[in-house]
């Protein structure tokens, strides 16, 4: 049952034109799991160091996220430092300290074997495949990736792509992976590599979904406040997978709905630094923004 995520749990230091934050809780698995926890039971598999305190674990527990798969290893937790210029679509990485993440070997607790919806965060594709193979009965498996793996580990990535149902990547990465500049052609080429469903994140321009033969495009929600884009992609994935896990419906119409839930969750994440806004939400906030989203995109002919 529920959703499981494998990825990074991190301490992030972030600077944007709207402020800065030092050593705040972040990481792909963190953003994903907090977002998905608004929809379905969530399990997180990750590694942290000795500097990871109970108060950090309590953030997960405050959202009823199962932390049995968070391993504590000797050393320091993964740290990432990045900044955004006025164009907040692209983070500039200033520093990456892999620390305990360097030796990460995801261990799936036996209690997680019944997971139906699996999200493989942006880690080495061979590790993604290793985890995927441990959950052969999963209903839907989605993966993230990035230019680093596309360039450095193309063969391993090709193997992983054959074993996943959904790939969720940025537009630039989709073009790099496929070698095509036209998004529709890029999508067809990537679907031929394995994942029948492709979600392309386009930053402030929204998200495109290629679901077998169906194509859907959603804008990003139009916000008054936009402070920190960190984690937007993983938060999108959390809302997307969380909605699918809650509804257990993989129809074309519901995949489109999942894109809207993902976009809505990402729109909340970027309104404030780190997890602050995602942790302060109510279920009504989410539904109300989904309805604003419908109004934003509706037109008559
Ligand atoms: P996003 O903005 O959705 O791409 O994700 C940002 C999150 O990714 C931050 O919270 C970082 O801690 C995490 N992150 C940054 N670099 C890496 C990396 N090389 N591996 C895993 N996670 C990373």
Would you place residue 89 in the very low, low, confident or very high pLDDT band (cuts 50, 70, 90)?
confident
Q: First-to-last CA distance in the chain?
A: 42
Is the pLDDT at 1 greater than 80, yes or no? no
pLDDT of residue 224: 93
Backbone angles phi, psi at 120, to 5 degrees: -95, 100
d(Cα 255, Cα 217) in Å, to the nearest integer?
A: 12
* Residues forming a β-bridge with 169: 200
Does 245 score more than 90 pLDDT?
A: yes
User: Average model confidence (pLDDT) for the chain?
Assistant: 97
Give the number of the atom of ligand 1 that is nearest the alpha carbon of residue 91. 2
Whose CA is closest to atom 9 on ligand 1?
A: 27
* Residue 45: pLDDT over 90: yes
pTM of the model: 0.97
Provide the residue ranges of all domains of the chain, joining segments of one domain with +: 3-221+228-297
Tell me, what's the pLDDT at 86? 86
Question: Is 160 a pocket residue for ligand 1 (Cβ < 6 Å)?
Answer: no
pLDDT at position 97 is: 97
Predicted local distance difference test score (pLDDT) of residue 270: 97
Distance (Å) from CA 28 to ligand 1 centroid: 5
Contact (Cβ atoms closer than 8 angstroms) between residue 118 and residue 140: yes
128 contacts 153 by C-beta, under 8 angstroms? no
pLDDT tens track for 52-64: 999 999 999 999 9
Testing ligand 1's pocket by substitution, the residue of 21, 122, 153, 268 carrying the most ligand atoms inside 8 A of its CB is 122
CA dist list (Å): 199 to 180, 225, 236, 263: 16, 25, 10, 12
The phi and psi torsions of 225 (rounded to 5 degrees) equal: -115, 135
Instruction: Answer yes or no: is pLDDT of 87 > 90.
Output: no
Most informative mutation of 10, 12, 30 for ligand 1 (most atoms within 8 A of CB): 10
Task: Please tell me the distance between residue 253's alpha carbon and the centre of ligand 1 in angstroms.
Answer: 30
**Percent of the chain beyond pLDDT 90?**
96
**For the segment 2-36, what is each residue's pLDDT rounded down to a tens digit?**
999 999 999 999 999 999 999 999 999 999 999 99
Paired sense of beta strands 207-211 and 214-218, if any? antiparallel
With bands split at pLDDT 50, 70 and 90, how would you rate the model's confidence at 301? very high
Alpha helices in 88-136 (DSSP H): 125-134
- Residues in contact with 174: Cβ distance below 8 Å, sequence separation at least 6, in sequence order: 183, 186, 187, 190, 198, 200
From the list 141, 103, 140, 107, the residue with the least C-alpha distance to 121 is 141
Asked if residue 210 lies in contact with residue 187, where contact means CB atoms within 8 angstroms, the answer is: yes
Please tell me the predicted confidence (pLDDT) of residue 288.
Answer: 98
- For 133-154, the pLDDT digits (tens) are 999 999 999 999 999 999 999 9
Q: Answer whether residue 231 shows pLDDT above 80.
A: yes
CA distance 288 to 169: 27
- pLDDT of amino acid 90: 83
For residue 28 and ligand 1, the question of a CB distance below 6 A is answered with yes
* Res. 283 pLDDT band, cuts 50 70 90: very high
* Residues in Cβ contact with 296 at an 8 Å cutoff, skipping those fewer than 6 apart: 219, 221, 222
- Could you tell me if the CB of 234 is within 6 A of ligand 1? yes
The hierarchical CATH code for the domain 3-221+228-297 is: 3.40.1190.20
């Amino acid at each position: 049952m529920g959703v499981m995520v494998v990825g990074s749990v991190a301490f992030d230091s972030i600077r944007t034109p709207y402020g800065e934050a030092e050593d705040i809780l972040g990481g792909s698995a963190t953003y994903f799991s907090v977002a998905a926890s608004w929809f379905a039971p969530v399990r997180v598999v990750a590694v942290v160091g000795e500097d990871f305190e109970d108060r950090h674990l309590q953030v997960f527990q405050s959202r009823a996220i199962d932390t049995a798969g968070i391993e504590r290893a000797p050393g320091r937790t993964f740290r990432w430092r990045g900044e955004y210029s006025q164009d907040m679509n692209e983070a500039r990485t200033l520093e990456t300290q892999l620390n305990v993440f360097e030796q990460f070997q995801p261990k799936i607790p036996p209690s997680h074997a019944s997971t139906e919806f699996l999200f493989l965060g942006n880690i080495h594709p061979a590790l993604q495949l290793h985890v995927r193979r441990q959950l052969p009965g999963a209903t839907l498996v989605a993966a993230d990736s990035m230019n680093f793996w596309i360039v450095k580990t193309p063969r391993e990535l090709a193997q992983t792509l054959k074993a996943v149902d959904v790939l969720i990547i940025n537009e630039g990465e989709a073009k790099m992976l496929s070698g095509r500049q036209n998004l529709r052609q890029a999508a067809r080429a990537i679907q031929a590599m394995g994942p029948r469903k492709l979600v392309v994140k386009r930053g402030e321009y929204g998200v495109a979904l290629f679901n077998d033969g169906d194509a859907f495009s959603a804008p990003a929600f139009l916000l008054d406040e936009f402070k920190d884009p960190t984690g937007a992609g993983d938060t999108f994935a959390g809302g997307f997978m969380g909605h699918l896990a809650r509804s257990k419906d993989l129809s074309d119409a519901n995949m489109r709905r999942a894109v809207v839930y993902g976009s809505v969750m990402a729109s909340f994440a970027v309104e404030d630094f780190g997890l602050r806004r995602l942790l302060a939400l109510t279920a009504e906030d989410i539904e109300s923004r989904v309805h604003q989203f419908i109004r934003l995109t509706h037109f008559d002919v």
